[in-house]
Amino acid sequence: MDLYREVLSLDTGEDHDYHDEWCRLQAIASPTTSTVYEHGFVTLEKVMGDDLDIVNNARVSFNVSSQEMTEKEKGLLNFLMRDRHGSPWEAVVFRFHVRAPIFVNREWFRHRIGSFNEESLRYSLANEQYYVPKAEDVRRQTGKPGAYTFETIEDPAVVNRTLELFEHTQKDALNAYHEMLDMGVARELARDVLPVGMFSSFVWTVNLRALFNFLSLRNDTHALREIRTYAEAVEELAAKACPTAFELFNTHGRVTP
């Protein structure tokens, strides 16, 4: 059975054993999806607009429009980015479907220019997926607030014990969660024992200008390593929709217009 048929054959009911597998296969099957970590993904579900729409969003001031992208239109976009004329870039809107660890989502949701809708464990069952870092991502933090640096821990005993604690702690929390559900405790209460390493899904609707702001901060060497990995996936997908805009974003120092 090919992957597309395998996706369609699975029951999508929230309480079905195959629900999480259906989501995973759906993500892999999509040509606009990047997988992130073992259980995560970023899917670009819809895009409204492209490079030419940004041009025409600016030219509406003069009651004119362009029908195709030429060097003249690219020059206008360059001017808009260089001189930070912001509103024309809002002509392009993206809708992403994301599955990420809760601690990543909490940083993501701080970007308030956009719309978020997250799955709710008041109504659905928690999946069995949680984040465990790779050995090379086990790190120590040094320095002071605002000037932290992070170094990979080389001691195998520390690394192995850290990975064991990630596994055991989250499995224990899941077992406690299911035990409470089996006793009849409400989902909205039982979920409170689950750790921030659990994966959760959300839909993010954001315009290009706000997306540039997100990427300038999160796809950056100073960002939390895990959210940067997701930001890289977001940027790779979004850049395909308006390549000239992203080329200029990088040319002008990745500063939000």
Q: Which residues are catalytic?
A: 218
What sign does the dihedral 118-124-126-127 (CA atoms) show?
negative
- What residue spans of 83-224 are helical by DSSP H? 102-108, 156-182, 187-190, 208-218
Pairing label, strands 139-142, 33-36:
unpaired
Pairing label, strands 33-36, 40-48:
antiparallel
SS3 95: strand
Tokens of 20: 């999480």
Name the residue among 168, 164, 132, 119 with its Cα closest to residue 20.
119
> Would you put residue 63 in left (φ > 0), alpha (ψ -120 to 50) or beta?
left
Beta carbons of 198 and 129 less than 8 angstroms apart: yes
Tokens of 58: 């600016």
